[in-house]
Structure 1
Amino acid sequence: MARRGRTAGISVLVIVGILVGLVIAAIVIIRRIPDHPPMPGEQRCVATAAGRSVAVDTEQVQNAAIIAGVSVRRGLAPRAASIALTTAYQESNLRNLDHGDRDSVGLFQQRPSMGWGSRKKLMNPVYATNRFYDALIKIHGWENADITRIAQQIQISGYPDAYRDHESDGRVLASVLTGQSPAGLRCLIRDRQPGDAAGLAKSLHRTYKISPKRSATVITISARSGQRAWSYAQYALADAREHGVTSVQVGGRRYVISKQKLTSWQTADRAIGRHTVRITVR
């Protein structure tokens, strides 16, 4: 009986080991798929606007924040960011790819041979985004036209209707990251990178052409509107993993990043100016 019990125990352990191995293998395979949605517990951000939510990983949200932030800096209508984000979703899944069809590269899979710029420049997300907006604003009526039609007019894709699959997600990210939807971004970040206030300040300057005040661990921005304040704040949250951000505050709302779960924006213990953004790094 004892031998039979030991045999049964060993069999259970073998089965458990096989199941664990299969789960790990499945996770590895899924994570190798470029466009996989973030898995439960995976480092990610969730954008919510008008009752709809979109989950993106930390690489995607950084790139999305740049695309939206450049539109804010240029003073474009938020619809510009919706069009750009929808396009980048389809072209690269919001990843700064160093490869693509023929000589296509970057977020928008722009081709040096088609006059978009050098390969090196197109791998710079700010440059690539500005080139996209340069083309967008030349199209008459882009502010009200169908997003997929405008995206195709710029990109001249072999799949002209594919952009439509990403319109809803593009709109949500644009609404949140341009600041139209305050407190719309939440992030789960497990990494504990050292705080880099100088690096984050440079990132904000590259995208928005602003010069935040900073100390060793705190960045302060005085925005000229509430919408811009929320765009800056949610940009910093999107950059949290890279620069060791621990909390972001706008006016009386504060977000504290957790490595355990997606937390919510809370009422701050002490409010700051309505258009003031305070970012704290580790």
Structure 2
Amino acid sequence: MPVSRSDTDRKKRRGKALRISAAFAVLLGLAGYAVTHYVTGGVGPARCIVRSPGEGAVDYEIEPDQAANAATIAAIASQRDLPKEAVTIALATAMQESGLRNLDHGDRDSVGLFQQRPSQGWGNEEEAMDPVIAAGKFYDHLEQIEGYTQIPLTDAAQRVQLSAHPEAYAKHEANAKLLANALTGGRAAAFHCTAGYKGPSTKAGSPEKLREQLVREFGRDVLPAEARRASATTGAGSGRSAERQREIVIPAGADERGWELAYWAVAHSAGLRIAEVSFQGHVWDAVTSEEGWHESGDGAPVPDDDAAVTIRLTTGQ
């Protein structure tokens, strides 16, 4: 049946209308991005950066959720007083198994950071999906390997994981070492995260939640008894008094311990609504997070001992 001229014209008009609609949608998207960028002072995607030592070295970048999981893995090792090599092995394993993401799926019934299988004795699915418990179970198995710090990383990881591809862990060793060295406090001001925007948070952080997570990951001794008992104030106070209610001060006592705690706080800053972290005269804050760590500039002397990490939560709007 021949196509009439009117049918052809209608098709042309319909096609033109669709092209106009598509172009308009693209313009709306660009306009929305521009407005968001202007209002928030956008500075690019949120990311976490490990500064590599030496001139010309390449920095290592990961996403905030990956950094938070890595910091948890390092914290559990710290609670158990395990060596840096244990953190490196655990991080390389999680990099290979899940990309440092807490996956709810995998091969057969594998889930979580380490793709642990409930059917193979790694606990139930809820436990395997809990980064704290999953890391603990990984270290349980690692510690049973005699001399695990002296054998190749890929061998140690394989003896825990029983992977079908044991050689795969080796490719992550360099980045795992770099990240482990940072998260265990090996270098000052070597790790920071960017918020992906400039501007105040619209949601207040919870001191109770911060304390609970610190104790769960580092152990009860991470906070003084009075700090563990302290509770968040709801609606009371104003000015500097209210601001202090959202500050958590953690005794460090040594540079490596202090940076370990400071980096943990920065890595968890998005989830815990942390606005600022300070230690030994260095400050990281969410508003200027693209700049990394900077000196406090208040002129106060930095103590040689009995140092503390101060974490300040967002107050919301």
Identify the match of residue 151 of structure 2 among 145, 152, 172: 145
Partner of 1:74: 80
Q: Is the CA contact 2:274–2:312 (under 8 Å) kept in the aligned structure 1?
A: yes
Partner of 2:119: 113
1:197 aligns with 2:207: yes
1:32-47 correspondence to structure 2 within 5 Å: 41-47=44-50
1:227 aligns with 2:259: no
Residue 81 (structure 1) shift? 0.4
Partner of 1:8: none
1:262 alignment partner, SS class: helix
1:90 alignment partner, SS class: helix
2:150 alignment partner, SS class: coil
Residue 123 (structure 1) shift? 1.2
Q: Distance in 2 between matches of 1:220 and 1:150?
A: 37
Q: Is the CA contact 1:247–1:281 (under 8 Å) kept in the aligned structure 2?
A: yes
Identify the match of residue 216 of structure 2 among 206, 212, 220: 206
Report Cα offsets for 1:8-39 as digits up to 9, x if no partner: xxxxx98x959x68x99xxxxxxxxxxxxxxx
Partner of 2:271: 242
What residue ranges of structure 1 are gaps of 5+ in the alignment?
A: 1-12, 25-39
Partner of 1:7: none
Q: Is the CA contact 1:46–1:55 (under 8 Å) kept in the aligned structure 2?
A: yes
Report Cα offsets for 1:144-174 as digits up to 9, x if no partner: 2111111111111111111112111111111
Q: Is the CA contact 2:112–2:128 (under 8 Å) kept in the aligned structure 1?
A: yes
Q: Is the CA contact 2:223–2:251 (under 8 Å) kept in the aligned structure 1?
A: no
Work out which of the two has the higher radius of gyration on C-alpha atoms and give 1 or 2: 2
1:100 alignment partner, SS class: coil
Partner of 2:310: 278
Aligned length: 253
More moved, 207-216 vs 116-125:
207-216
Q: Distance in 1 between matches of 2:216 and 2:80?
A: 12
1:123 aligns with 2:129: yes
Identify the match of residue 175 of structure 2 among 169, 172, 190: 169
1:262 aligns with 2:290: yes
Q: Distance in 1 between matches of 2:146 and 2:271?
A: 39
Identity across matched positions, percent:
36
1:144 alignment partner, SS class: coil
Tell me which amino acid in the other structure corresponds to 1:278.
Answer: T
Q: Distance in 2 between matches of 1:52 and 1:175?
A: 15
Residue 52 (structure 1) shift? 4.4
Q: Distance in 2 between matches of 1:49 and 1:72?
A: 22
Report Cα offsets for 1:72-121 as digits up to 9, x if no partner: 11111111100000000000111111111111111100111111111111
More moved, 64-73 vs 246-255:
246-255
**TM-score normalized by the length of structure 1:** 0.82
Tell me which amino acid in the other structure corresponds to 2:49.
Answer: V
1:180 alignment partner, SS class: coil
1:248 alignment partner, SS class: strand
Partner of 1:6: none
Report Cα offsets for 1:191-249 as digits up to 9, x if no partner: 72422222122111110012363652101000242211111111000111112211111
Tell me which amino acid in the other structure corresponds to 2:247.
Answer: V
**TM-score normalized by the length of structure 2:** 0.73
Q: Distance in 1 between matches of 2:157 and 2:139?
A: 11
Tell me which amino acid in the other structure corresponds to 1:48.
Answer: R
